[in-house]
Amino acid sequence: MLRIPKAVKLKMSFNRKNLLYEVMIKRPGFEKELAERITNEWQGQCGIIYCTSKRKCEEVADKFRREFGLSISHYHAGMHKEDRRRIQQDWSEGRTRIIAATVAFGMGICYSSCTRFVLTFAKGIDKADVRFVIHHALPQSLEGYYQETGRAGRDGKKSHVVLLYGYKDKSSVYMNPTKPYNVRLILTDRVPDRQRGRRQRTKRCKDHCGQLRYDTDYDSLRDNERI
């Protein structure tokens, strides 16, 4: 394609057949159930638990370490650079089995503490024997989910990918005010009901005022009318 002479071409399917995907519902006590799975099914194996916030990373790591005795550390961009490097090295070399991390883990990007952001490329995830990747909540995007789950089983051996799902997780992802285009994704299934309710209210206004105006274009509604 680039017309580079004698170039080495590497091809791989998007279908990673060694990865087993599953969804686990967040029922009461789901973290205990998850800890038991890690202990029984992946005993002594390395894995990643992705969380949506820095605080959640620390809470998950603390709970799994204190209550269930797992070898786990947390990792996020708010930590000191030396701490991040040490934790990642401990995990890469097997001294720590599990990392509870934000998406900053594995991106190989560090932010300086200066007023201006300065990007420096650090060591990314280069570990072939990651046996499980768990998402503690819905990921921010499908592309990000594919990239994060792809860090499991790079040695070609069977590995597990688990998505923990709770209904309220949708609001924490799709109602993010920094991504207004995502609002429509969560409300798509609710549009007919909202339009039907709007028609009913409009009809009552017509009966009272003798006027009728339909606005069935959902995208034209103001933000405060969509919520």
Mean pLDDT on 122-135: 80
Q: For residues 128 and 154, what is the distance between their CA atoms, to the nearest angstrom?
A: 5
Say if residue 132's pLDDT is above 90.
yes
Q: Is the pTM of the predicted complex or chain greater than 0.85? A: no
Cβ–Cβ contacts within 10 Å for residue 144, how many? 13
- How much of the chain is in helix, strand and coil states, percent to nearest 5? 40, 15, 45
Give the pLDDT confidence score for residue 8 in this predicted structure: 85
**Can you give the residue ranges of every domain in the chain?**
19-169, 185-226
Asked if 98 and 105 touch (Cβ cutoff 8 Å), the reply is no
Q: For residues 67 and 62, what is the distance between their CA atoms, to the nearest angstrom?
A: 8
Burial tier of 24 (Cβ tally within 10 Å: 0-12, 13-18, 19+) = middle
Say if residue 121's pLDDT is above 50.
no
Say if residue 104's pLDDT is above 80.
no
Give the pLDDT confidence score for residue 107 in this predicted structure: 55
Q: For residues 92 and 130, what is the distance between their CA atoms, to the nearest angstrom?
A: 10
Q: Is 33 in a helix, a strand, or coil?
A: helix
Amino acid at 78: G
Cα torsion 144, 146, 152, 155: sign: negative
Say if residue 223's pLDDT is above 60.
no
Give the pLDDT confidence score for residue 5 in this predicted structure: 85
Query: Per residue in 136-150, pLDDT tens?
Result: 988 888 888 998 999
Query: Per residue in 159-189, pLDDT tens?
Result: 999 999 988 777 666 555 454 444 333 333 4
Secondary structure letter of residue 182 according to DSSP: G
Query: Per residue in 41-100, pLDDT tens?
Result: 999 999 999 998 899 999 999 999 999 999 999 999 889 999 999 998 999 999 999 999
| Residue-averaged pLDDT of the chain | 76
The residue assigned the tokens 């933000």 is 223
Asked if 140 and 2 touch (Cβ cutoff 8 Å), the reply is no
The three-point CA angle 68-34-70 to 5° equals 30
Choosing among 3.40.50.300, 3.40.50.970, 3.65.10.10, 3.20.20.80, the CATH entry for 19-169 is 3.40.50.300
Give the pLDDT confidence score for residue 61 in this predicted structure: 95
Beta-bridge partner residues of 160: 20, 132
